[in-house]
Structures are given as structure tokens and as C-alpha cells.
Amino acid sequence: MATTAPAAHRCSYEDYEATADWLRSQTEQRPKVAIICGSGLGGLAALLDNRVVIPYKDIPNFPQTTVEGHQGQLVFGTLEGQQCVCMQGRFHTYEGYDVYQVTYPVRVFSLLGVRTLVVTNAAGGLNSSFSVGDIMLIKDHINMPGLVGNNPLCGPNDDRFGVRFPCMSDAYDRDLLALAQQTAEGQGIGAFVHQGVYCMVGGPTFESIAEGRALRTMGADAVGMSTALEVVVARHCGLRVLGFSLITNMVVTDYDSTLKANHAEVLDTTLMRTQDLQGLVRGILAQMPVDPEDL
Ligand SMILES: O=P(O)(O)O[C@H]1O[C@H](CO)[C@@H](O)[C@H]1O
Ligand SMILES: Nc1nc2[nH]cnc2c(=O)[nH]1
């Protein structure tokens, strides 16, 4: 039977603007920092003062979350003097969304005036020196969907957002990375905070043993099903990016192992580290220099 590929949800500049205008009409807050909360990490939004909560179902053009551990609302508020917006729940391609839908909020944030994107995720550890519960500061990524042509920048380029061929060798801001490492050490949690390479795969399957081994050989320290697409779009429109992976499980790479990755374990581990992660994000935002363009 012949099948037709679903139409891509590629959006116009005016669609993004309509969403940004609508959000501006709902709150007087004008965030400079956006935080995307990964699986089970929505608790980060509790850090914000003067919260204004807007469910995704009310926001024009916004997709809806379908995954346990992703609440589905934007939370505006202030953290350590920085105006922020938190995405409590992100979108993944395995939910059936295309790369344009998954990254839709990032361009909206940019139009709202956001200058810095903090991405967080739950990820499987590939680096054998990592343990469950460790935090990996993302220093680089392998964008597997993008490498095979499923990149949110495919299609006509809109120069109002950014250039046709953006550079990704500087995707993760080195100054913010150093600040995050220093803050972790200052808070006495440096022993379980590492730097590493995040690999995005499509999911929703967890890795086979051969896949886990292959990803490790490619140079990935952790693997998940999100983040890289959001970062590509953020860098295209000039946002600074800081990324964290919480290592919620170790990827099975041994045929003698009886361990099996599962989402319940992922969510349990996020609970165990919520407080450390919140403390770290608070500490970083307290010291994060305001973008000179905002002065
Ligand atoms: O990347 P986040 O959204 O944190 O979620 C991670 O956790 C889920 C698997 O347990 C997958 O969606 C994976 O990508
Ligand atoms: N692909 C993938 N995503 C995850 N998210 C949390 N843990 C994992 C994992 O082991 N593999």
C-alpha cells in the first residue's frame, strides 16, 4: 500500500512572532535566560520567584508533551536576579513531532529577547568512569539525526534568525562551562560533575549492546533522545548555550550484563539529584554575567 510522508511543520517567521506576541500579552516578564527541563527535571522551575505559569495547551502553535516526567507548561520568573523562562517539559521526535516542532520554542524564546539557553536532560552513561547520579556538563554533541539529514535548519534559510551555514564547533559556551565547573567545585560536588560529549539519537528504544559500544567508540560520553536539535537552533539564532546531562543509568555494553534500561529508573535517578542540580543552576545564575547587549 502506498504511504505518504507527513507534511513537515516548517513554520514562518510570522508564526514564531505570533507565539512570542501572545506570550508578551500574557506576562510583563521579559526573560533573558531560558531553561529547558529534561525528563524528571521539571523541579528546576521551582527555583523561580514571582512565577507566571502558562500551559502549553493555551499557547498558539505550541506542541503538547506526551512523555511521563514532562509537565507541559512554561514557567516565567526570576532566579538570582535573572529573568528566566523554564520549559517544564520538552518535545522529542519519537513522540511523532518533526524537528521543526521539537525546536519551535527556541526561536520563540529568541524573539522574546532570551540571550542564554540552559538545556538539561536525562542521559545514559557511556563513559566507564561515570556513575549513575553523576552530572555531565556538555562540552560538545554528536547530532545523529542532523548528521543523516534530519536537521531543523533544513529548508529555506531565514536570515532574520541566522546564517545558512552556522558553525557548531563553539556550540557550548566555554565561559559558561568554566563557570559551571567552578561553581560545582565551590559547592563541593565537583567529584561527581564531569565534562563530556552528548550524543543525540532518535529513540524511543534504548540502545542495543552493539549500539552502545558503537556510540562509545565514536567518542560519546552520554546518550539521550533530545537536546542537540534545540542547541542547533539556539546557536543559529545566536543564543549562548550551557548544557547539563544527568546520568540516570549506565548504557549496557556487556553481553554478560542482566541490566535493562527503563524510563522508571531514569525518573528515579532524577529525584535523587534534584537538589544538587537545583543548587548548581542557582549558583551559576547568581554569577552568570549579563550579556553585554542587555546593558
Ligand atoms: O532528554 P530528556 O527529555 O531528558 O529525556 C530522556 O529520558 C527519556 C528516556 O527515559 C528520553 O526522552 C531521553 O531523551
Ligand atoms: N538513548 C538513551 N536515552 C536515555 N535517556 C536516559 N537514559 C538513556 C539511555 O540510556 N539511552
Q: How confident is the model over 66-109, as pLDDT tens digits?
A: 988 879 999 999 999 999 999 999 999 999 999 999 999 999 99
Q: Is the dihedral of CA 101, 107, 109, 112 positive or negative?
A: negative
Residue 4's pLDDT band (boundaries 50, 70, 90)? low
Nearest-angstrom CA–CA distance, 40 and 45:
12
Taking residue 110's Cβ as centre, other Cβ atoms within 10 Å add up to 22
- No. of helices (H) and no. of strands (E), the chain: 8, 9
Burial (CB count <10 Å: 0-12, 13-18, 19+), residue 85: buried
| CA 80 – CA 99 distance, rounded (Å) | 33
Centre of ligand 1 to C-alpha 121, Å, is 6
Give the closest residue to 198 by CA, choosing from 253, 264, 244, 261. 244
Which of 45, 56, 95, 194 is catalytic? The answer is 95
Is residue 230 flagged as an active site residue? no
Query: Residue holding cell 527535571?
Result: 41
Give the pLDDT band (50/70/90) at residue 295. very low
pLDDT at 124 over 80: yes
Closest CA to 230 of 81, 40, 36, 80: 36
Its pTM stands at 0.96
Rounded to 5 degrees, what are φ and ψ at 231? -70, -40
Helix, strand, or coil here: 223? strand
For range 253-274, the mean pLDDT? 92
226 is catalytic: yes
- Is the pLDDT assigned to residue 292 strictly greater than 80? no
Q: Which of 162-176, 200-214, 215-229, 275-289 has the lowest mean pLDDT?
A: 275-289
> What's the CA-to-centroid distance between 82 and ligand 2, angstroms?
31
Distance CA 124, CA 231 (A): 19
Question: Which of the ligands is closest to the CA of residue 227?
Answer: 1
Written as nine digits, the cell of 89 is: 517539559
Q: Is the pLDDT of residue 2 over 60?
A: no
Percent of the chain with pLDDT over 70: 96
> What sign results for the dihedral spanned by CA atoms 28, 33, 38, 40?
negative
Ligand 1, residue 266: give the atom nearest the CA.
Answer: 10
Would you say 142 and 197 are in contact if contact means Cβ atoms under 8 Å apart? Answer: yes
Phi-psi label, residue 80: left if phi above 0, alpha if psi -120 to 50, beta otherwise: left
